[in-house]
Amino acid sequence: MNAPLPVQFRPAAFADGLLQFSQLGYRQGNHSLLQDITGHIPAGSFTALLGPNGAGKSTLLRLLAGLLPPTQGDVRLAGLPLHKMDTPSRARQLGWLGQFPSHDLPLTIEQYVLLGRRPALGSFGRPNPDDLGRVGTALAAYDISHLAQRRWDGLSGGERQRAGLARLQAQDAPIWLLDEPTNHLDLKHQAQLFRRLRNEATHGRTVIAVLHDIAQAARWADQVLLLGGGRLLAQGQPSEALCPSNLRLAYDCPLQLWQSANGHWHASVEG
């Protein structure tokens, strides 16, 4: 499903940065989680946020989604400060898939995926056939149509993750922010997801995902932001930003990233 994007978010109009952030920082009490993060996310691109555990990837993603207010600098969406947008406007532009899906929702999967239509419907709107059609398409896209009437709390981890992805798809926001979206997915569904994220970006969606798999990031993403210790160590095309020296700096281990004859990327830790 690739509905036309709002005119103002078409890739050509924001190739230099649909989301722009400058001198971004976030502190929690005396603890600085992120410092001096300056960069941009082009419209219609697939961006991977990479780095070791605790580097600040989820914190940065939450700042870019407007879920956390920066304590330094700002995030601009199409030139406007994100923190000045009200929640309903933000929800129409930014689709969010967090790392920890809720465990105890008293909903069927169909009802849960229909929550994705809430930003478009408003508080009192009732779903119309188009909304229900989008839900059906999203359930089918993630192979969970057969689970539509099952309760959320009776699903496996991978089934829940696919339901979360289906909700994001049904929401159909022009920007997707996903925190470790391959969590709990088997290899087939991981491969399907990467193809889908690539395809969405190719058709104009702006996709930002926190990933741990640097080989998959190198294969599918247009650009990476490599974080370490709360700082941005590199931003750019994967083949350049993920050079051996940057990888060693970020991960503090002898990490190898290479491309085989078929063009696929591979990663391993030596020794």
Ligand X SMILES: Nc1ncnc2c1ncn2[C@@H]1O[C@H](COP(=O)(O)OP(=O)(O)OP(=O)(O)O)[C@@H](O)[C@H]1O
35 contacts ligand X (rule: CB under 6 A): no
51 contacts ligand X (rule: CB under 6 A): yes
Coil, strand or helix at 129: helix
Stretches 36-44, 55-63, 77-85, 218-226: which one binds ligand X (CB under 6 A)? 55-63
53 contacts ligand X (rule: CB under 6 A): yes
- Minimum Å gap between C-beta 202 and ligand X is 27
54 contacts ligand X (rule: CB under 6 A): yes
Q: What are phi and psi of 19, to 5 degrees?
A: -110, 130
- Give the separation between CA 211 and CA 19, rounded to whole angstroms: 19
- Minimum Å gap between C-beta 211 and ligand X is 10
55 contacts ligand X (rule: CB under 6 A): yes
Residue 209 in tokens: 């995902």
Stretches 27-35, 168-176, 246-254, 256-264: which one binds ligand X (CB under 6 A)? 27-35
- Of 58 and 190, nearer to ligand X (C-beta) is 58
- Give the separation between CA 131 and CA 120, rounded to whole angstroms: 9
59 contacts ligand X (rule: CB under 6 A): yes
- Give the separation between CA 29 and CA 12, rounded to whole angstroms: 41
- Minimum Å gap between C-beta 134 and ligand X is 30
- Give the separation between CA 23 and CA 187, rounded to whole angstroms: 38
CB count in 10 Å sphere of residue 127: 15
